[in-house]
Amino acid sequence: MATKIFVNLPVRDLQKSIDFFTHLGFSFNPQFTNHEAACLVLGDNIYAMLLTHERFADFTKKKISDATQSTEVLLCLDAESREAVDTMVQRALEAGGSRYADPMDHGWMYAHSFADPDGHQWEIAFMDEAALQAMMQESGAGTAAQL
């Protein structure tokens, strides 16, 4: 079954968020973008709907979380290489994002993270499938989670 996923994120300043993600090299689907919402294209079937707080409130009866104070979701995107991970994080910092944590290097997986202007945590990860298979064989692990 082919499916699309739309992650909805509240943002304080929609234009600032559009500028931030455009600086990172992402595009937006104009069909689902207006003064209240912007459809950030993350992949062929993966989108983040950046919604003003007012528009976001139309979809929930709950209080909107302040992502600078608490974490409700961790967003992780894959990258083509370790260098691409570092480049994405550097671009995020240049565009007004903040450093969230130090890079993590597990040998087969390298990840780094940033927070966007609204505090949403984005993880960027490169997974070396060949190194993963080698480490699993060496350790006798049946899955990556066992490493």
pLDDT tens string 97-120: 999 899 999 988 999 999 999 999
> What does the buried/exposed string (b/e) look like for 56-93 if buried means 16 or more CB atoms within 10 Å of the residue's CB?
beeeeeeeeeebeeeeeeeeeeebeebeebbebbeebe
**pLDDT on residue 14:** 98
Average pLDDT, rounded, for the chain: 92
What are 1-10's pLDDT values in tens digits? Answer: 668 899 999 9
**pLDDT on residue 116:** 97
- Mean pLDDT over 63-77 rounds to 92
CATH class in words for 71-147: alpha beta
- Mean pLDDT over 33-44 rounds to 97
For the segment(s) 1-60, the CATH number from 3.10.20.30, 1.20.1250.20, 1.10.10.10, 3.10.180.10 is 3.10.180.10
Start-end of CATH 3.10.180.10 domains in the chain:
1-60, 71-147
